[in-house]
Copies of this chain bind each other. A is one copy, B any other.
Amino acid sequence: MEEGNAKEAPSLSAKDVADAFLNQYYTILKKSPKEAHKFYQDQSTRTHPCADGSMKSATTLEDIDLQVMESIVKEWNPDLDTVHAQESVTGSVILGVTGSLTDKDNVIKHFSQTFFLAPQEGGGFYVHNDFLQLVEPIKVSEIFPSLNDATNSVNALQINFTGSLFKGDF
C-alpha cells in the first residue's frame, strides 16, 4: 500500500484480501446480519456449530441466511488472535482465523474459522467455503477416532496423496 496507483486495479496479496474481507464480514455480521448471506453464492457451503455442539451445514443462500440469523453467537465482535492467508488455486485465497467470541449464554468461546474466497464474476470474491470450529483446549473430546484405530478403513480407501510415496508397500 506504499505506492498509490489508485486508477489501476492493484495486485492484491492474499493478506490484503483477507484483511479487507474480515473487516467487512464481521462488520456486516454484527451490524446487518440480514445482509450477511450476500457474501456467499448458491454453490457455497457454510458449516457452523449448533447450540448442542454439533456442526450444521448450509448449502443454499436461503439456508445460509437462516443459519446466520439463528447463530449461537451473541454478537459478532470477535477478538482475533491470529489471521493467516495464502493464495490458492484459480486465483482464490484461503484464510484461517483464530480468536474468541461470546455465545448467547455469555460464555467466551475460542474458535478457529476457515474461509475459502473464490473469484466471482464482475470482480472481487465470494465465500465458497466457511467453517467454524469451537476450540475447547481443556476438554479433549473423542470426536475423531484415534489414528491407530482409523488405519484399516483408511487403507481400504487407497487414495493416493503423493506422486510416489504410496505406490510401494510402505
Residue pair A135, B135 in contact (C-beta under 8 Å):
yes
Copies in the complex: 2
Q: Is the interface of A mostly helix, strand, loop or mixed?
A: mixed
Residues A161 and B25 in contact in the complex (CB < 8 Å), given A86-B45, A88-B116: yes
Chain B hits for A38, CB < 8 A: 162-165
Contact-residue bracket for chain A: 35 or more
Chain B hits for A123, CB < 8 A: 160
Minimum CB distance partner of A113 in chain B: B96
| CB of A126, distance to nearest CB on chain B (Å) | 7
In the complex, chain A residues 110-151 whose Cβ is within 8 Å of any chain B Cβ: 110, 112, 114, 116-118, 120, 122-129, 131, 133-137, 140-141, 143-144, 147, 150-151
